[in-house]
Structure 1
Amino acid sequence: MDVERSLETQVSQAVDAWLAWLPRWEPSTHRGRVAPCRRCFGSPVLSAAGLGADVPHGVQHGLSTRIKTIVDRSVAEYTALNLPMLQAELDQQAARNRARSYRPAEGLEPEFEGLPLDPDPVPGAPFLFTISGLAEEADADIPALPPLSDEAKAALRQEVGLADDYANMVGREVCTILLHHRLRIQSAIGEYVEPQIEAMLEELTRSLDAPFDPRDPPIG
């Protein structure tokens, strides 16, 4: 029961934080990405929250990232208490990450966490450099982790499976809790998101109905 109450509090606080951010959201005007977001596409969290495909991705991502943080934190606590091999491996990886001189994906706001670091390339216009490329160069300077024996690999795989099972359990519980927040989530979407989308559609309709500025000189 303590875990359930803790999760309820964390989810409520995450939704509160997302609702506080939502009035600052504005529709994106840059070119959309070809690949869907792996964190948000088909997410049961978004389904539980009632954020369907008709809701802009930026709005979805801000909530799904906050909820993912809750699940990750719960799994980290479970791992530290019950899975020593996996914890040791994670500790080594964390130390390796701290040794990197360039860590552009760390410390981002939830609305940007997990998104690609660079925009999609434009055909015929290659980048001089990319943030991802610079990060990979910094990563290449750090020594690789020591190899594991076959026995250690098997034991580690077993602990990873247990961590995955626990993550799925916490995820299902979080989705159940989110169902209780759907009304206020939907209310906020109606207040802050839908009017902006409707305004964009109206502007698009006007531009299609009158593709030329009446002040432009006649063609020919």
Structure 2
Amino acid sequence: MERSLETQVSQAVDAWLRWLPRWEPATHRGRVAPCRRCFGSPVLSAAGLGADVPHGVQHGLSTRIKSIVDHSVAEYTAVNLPMLQAELDQQAARNRARSYRPAEGLEPEFEGLPLDPEPLPGAPFLFTISGMAEEADAGVPDLPPLSDEAKAALRQEVGLADDYANMVGREVCTILLHHRLRIQAAITQYVEPQIEAMLEELTRSLDAPFDPNEPPPL
């Protein structure tokens, strides 16, 4: 039996709560561009995860919730939108033909994130994961072109799929409102102490920038 949307959201939040105790603040350089999945996300607003919550914490939940919406839209498309489904099937077959697919099979905490870190100024990478993926993609034939009539029909079905996704998304946000208390309790228990510890360490380093056991600089 298909699980209800309420059950799926509850299970997604449960999975995120089980993962959250393993979260640690990132120590690498941050990225300049905001995450397109999380920036301004109504899902995160409904969950009560504001801009003061680290992105890694946000991303783990938003990705899990997005998979629920994507699954609902995929079911709707398979039943009601034959042209769009055929196009998606062709694209899926094309993707399977690629010899290198580094973005597939990732844990929810890493889905949708850039494959490569930001390069250091003046120190470009010899190669990148995304570059190798693009090379593998270049060797796969393009999909056959569509007629103007087919393009118009496909655009109409894409619009219907978008409308359905928005409807499911609004329902998911409503359901998330009922989980805000336990989400906030977990943030208080697992995230805020780590952030406070980082700020305390930063304060100490600013107050005493030199090792007390080393002689002062001349």
TM range (shorter): over 0.9
Query: Quick one: distance in 2 between partners of 1:159 and 1:219?
Result: 69
SS at match of 1:5: coil
Structure 2, unaligned stretches of length 5 or more? none
Structure 1, unaligned stretches of length 5 or more? none
Matches within 5 A, 1:167-182: 167-182=165-180
The number of aligned residues is 218
Deviations 1:60-112 (A, max 9, x none): 00000000000000000000000000000000000000000000000000000
Query: Quick one: distance in 2 between partners of 1:193 and 1:59?
Result: 8
SS at match of 1:147: coil
Aligned identity (percent) is 91
Matches within 5 A, 1:64-103: 64-103=62-101
**Structure 1-normalised TM-score?**
0.98
SS at match of 2:71: helix
1:5 Cα deviation from its structure 2 partner: 7.0
1:218 Cα deviation from its structure 2 partner: 2.4
Alignment-derived partner of residue 50 in structure 1: 48
Task: Report if aligned partners of 2:210, 2:216 keep a CA contact under 8 Å in 1.
Answer: no
Query: Quick one: distance in 2 between partners of 1:70 and 1:82?
Result: 18
Structure 1 segments, 4+ long, off by >3 Å, are: none
**Structure 2-normalised TM-score?**
0.98
Change (3 A) 1:5 1:109: closer
Aligned Cα RMSD in Å?
1.2
Query: Quick one: distance in 2 between partners of 1:89 and 1:41?
Result: 29
Query: Quick one: distance in 2 between partners of 1:198 and 1:57?
Result: 16
SS at match of 1:4: coil
1:25 Cα deviation from its structure 2 partner: 0.2
1:157 Cα deviation from its structure 2 partner: 0.2
* Residue 103 (structure 2) aligned to one of 102, 105, 129: 105
Alignment-derived partner of residue 143 in structure 2: 145
